[in-house]
Amino acid sequence: MAQIELQLTLPRDARYVGILRRVADSLLRGLDVPGESVDDVAVALSEACGNVIRHAEGTDEYGVRLSVDAHHCSIEVCDLGPGFDAEAMAEDAASLDEVAAAEDGRGLPLLEALMDDLEFVREEDTTTVRLIKRWEAVGLERGAPEA
């Protein structure tokens, strides 16, 4: 099965999130991924990158890996900051309504609502957010184009 993988190191600057989002949008639409899934990935990618920009400490850059195959998109956003306790945040968020009413803290419920899988991995000095969005077979499932 064919797969496309992009791996980028970006400055911890909000200006680059839009560029990354446009690259992902163009790639997914070019593979005929359903529009709703493309939009979900774009918003989740922006939110995950925004969290790194706001919360990572001790580094001026972060990494993003975007893998796409015929059935899903996998996103990994890695930072070198101290991270946070995702379980404690989930316990504090009694309901989506309460979180939505807060000025900040909407990220986790939003990511959970938009994506099929959400995982936080803390290894040494790196926190990685792993996101997966699934769909029916698209572009990469087809055979090679005719010459």
Q: Among the CATH numbers 3.40.190.10, 3.40.50.2300, 3.30.565.10, 3.40.50.280, which is that of 3-136?
A: 3.30.565.10
Q: Say which residues have a Cβ less than 8 Å from residue 109's Cβ, sequence separation at least 6.
A: 93, 96, 99, 100
Q: Can you tell me the mean pLDDT for 5-20?
A: 94
pLDDT digits (tens, 9 = 90+) for 75-125: 999 987 655 555 544 554 444 444 343 435 567 889 999 999 999 988 877
Average pLDDT of the chain? 81
Q: Can you tell me the mean pLDDT for 31-46?
A: 94
With cut-offs at 50, 70 and 90, classify the pLDDT of residue 130. Answer: very high
Put the strands of the sheet holding 126-134 in their side by side order: 3-11, 61-69, 72-79, 126-134, 117-123
pLDDT above 90 (res 62): yes
The structure's pTM equals 0.78
With cut-offs at 50, 70 and 90, classify the pLDDT of residue 69. Answer: very high
* Domain boundary assignment for the chain: 3-136
Distance between CA atoms of 56 and 81, rounded to whole angstroms?
Answer: 4
Distance between CA atoms of 118 and 80, rounded to whole angstroms?
Answer: 19
Q: Say which residues have a Cβ less than 8 Å from residue 88's Cβ, sequence separation at least 6.
A: none
Q: Can you tell me the mean pLDDT for 62-81?
A: 91
